[in-house]
Amino acid sequence: MADEKGGGALTHFDAEGQARMVDVSGKPATYRVATAEGRITMAPETAAVIRAGTSRKGDVLGVARIAAIQAAKRTDALIPLCHQVPISGLEVAWDFLDAVSLRCSVTVRTQYATGVEMEALTAVGIGLLTIYDMCKAMDRGMVIDGIRLLHKEGGRSGTWDRAQ
């Protein structure tokens, strides 16, 4: 079975088309890194509260940072066929793109037999969902979008970068 880009077999299915966890026991542990990003758009008043750190629920970005880190560490519990990956490093960055849009970017590193793309993507999603949860009383119209992989390196497939 080829993937939608024709880049290879869909490894999470056996010859009969049944879902399976990929066996990585024969693969060497190598340095792996992945970076993902996503964004949340909100009302200007909501963004101002987040920037000022004056939410009644506390430091919105600090709590969302911890949520993103926790999510990356627990990706295997959320995505059924993911391996439990020992994360050796993780950075979460927040930056306002304008008066209403906040970007989350996450970089995850490991020395393991499989990559950390899912951990980076999961961390971004949960970080942004945490902002929504903490601010929904002010702004139920927030929109989360653009969650995507930007970069990955390591393993047999080498380095991949999203074309800008």
Q: Six-digit token pair at 77?
A: 């519990």
CA–CA separation, 106 vs 38, rounded Å?
9
CA–CA separation, 128 vs 111, rounded Å?
27
CB 122 within 8 A of CB 72: yes
Q: Say if strands 101-112 and 143-153 run parallel, antiparallel, or are unpaired.
A: unpaired
Residues known to be catalytic? 133
> Hey, is 101 helix, strand or coil?
strand
Strand-pairing partners, residue 147, are none
Q: Six-digit token pair at 24?
A: 């990585």
- Phi/psi of residue 38, each to 5°? -165, 175
